[in-house]
Amino acid sequence: MAFGAEELRVLRRALAAALHPVPLADEEVRQCLRLADSVDEAAREAGRLRTFLFADLARYRAALPGAAAGYLELLQDALATGYDPRPEDLAALRTLRGTPAGAAVLRRCQSLAEESVRARLASRTPAAPVAAPARVRLHALPGGRAADEQKPKPAPAPKPAQDPQPKPPPVPKPSEVFPPRRKPVPPPEQLAAG
């Protein structure tokens, strides 16, 4: 976006007023508003042109290999506007790498795609660890643990010496795991009352 001499004069006055607030004349305010409207319209037009360019690029890509020259030219225009090559662009360029122009654009697009992936990964990685805030000293409430600390404590009992080698856990006997089978007892015979 380029500004003319009059637009630059208005922009300079607007920036000066923003840095050092002074009352502006009504005409100067109107000029600033017109300049802001012109900049907004230029930004909207640039967006429309980018949308048209990207749609045109997709049409040329779909018409490959017959539209190779037009596709390469449009892709270079799109790259100049900040377009990130998509996977379908890289696939299309691989089919065109037999030509010097296709190979050159493919190298450029692969480089841009790698930079884009690295930038996305860098934005996803967690930031460097932040130092923990200084800990605040906690104070005990009366009647809590502080009250226990005021009482005299008995001397701790000596600990028994530990074995240098721990004992293995007791293994159950087979008779404990599998109790012996008992012979089934036949049911008592009922005598018939006669």
Q: What angle do CA 171, 173, 176 make, to 5 degrees?
A: 115
Q: Which residue has the higher pLDDT, 184 or 7?
A: 7
Which structural domain, as residue segments, surrounds residue 113?
Answer: 5-123
> For residue 66, what are the CA distances in angstroms to 37, 62, 70, 93?
43, 10, 9, 13
The one-character DSSP state at 181 is: P
Is 148 a member of any domain?
Answer: no
In a domain? residue 184: no
Identify whether 140 is part of a domain. no
Cβ 46 vs Cβ 79: under 8 Å: no
More confident site: 166 or 184? 184
Number of domains in the chain: 1
Q: Decide if pLDDT at 142 tops 60.
A: no
Asked, for residue 193, whether it belongs to a domain, the answer is no
pLDDT of 184: 74
Residue 190 included in any domain:
no
Query: How confident is the model over 96-131, as pLDDT tens digits?
Result: 888 888 889 899 989 888 888 888 888 876 655 555
Residue 134 pLDDT > 70, yes or no?
no
Residue 40 near residue 1, CB atoms below 8 Å: no
Residue 159 three-state SS: coil
Residue 53: inside a domain: yes
Q: In which band, very low, low, confident or very high, does the pLDDT at 57 lie, cut at 50, 70 and 90?
A: confident
Angle at 150 between CA 148 and CA 155, to 5 degrees: 80
What is the percentage of the chain residues whose pLDDT exceeds 70?
A: 72
Tokens of 30: 């109107």
Torsion sign, CA atoms 68, 69, 70, 71 = positive
**Is residue 66 a part of any domain in this protein?**
yes
Whole-angstrom CA distances from 108 to 50, 103, 119, 181 are 20, 9, 17, 83
Q: Is the dihedral of CA 10, 13, 17, 23 positive or negative?
A: negative
Q: pLDDT tens, 168-194?
A: 667 777 777 776 777 777 777 765 555
Q: Is residue 74 packed enough to be buried (19+ CB in 10 Å), middle (13-18) or exposed (0-12)?
A: buried
Check residue 158 and give its pLDDT: 65
- Find out whether the peptide bond into 65 is cis, omega within 30 degrees of 0: yes
Closest to 61 measured CA to CA, from 88, 87, 80: 88
Residue range 79-92: average pLDDT?
87
Confidence check: pLDDT of 45 > 80: yes
Residue type, 78: A
Report yes or no on 191 lying in a domain.
no
pLDDT band of residue 155 (cuts 50, 70, 90) is low
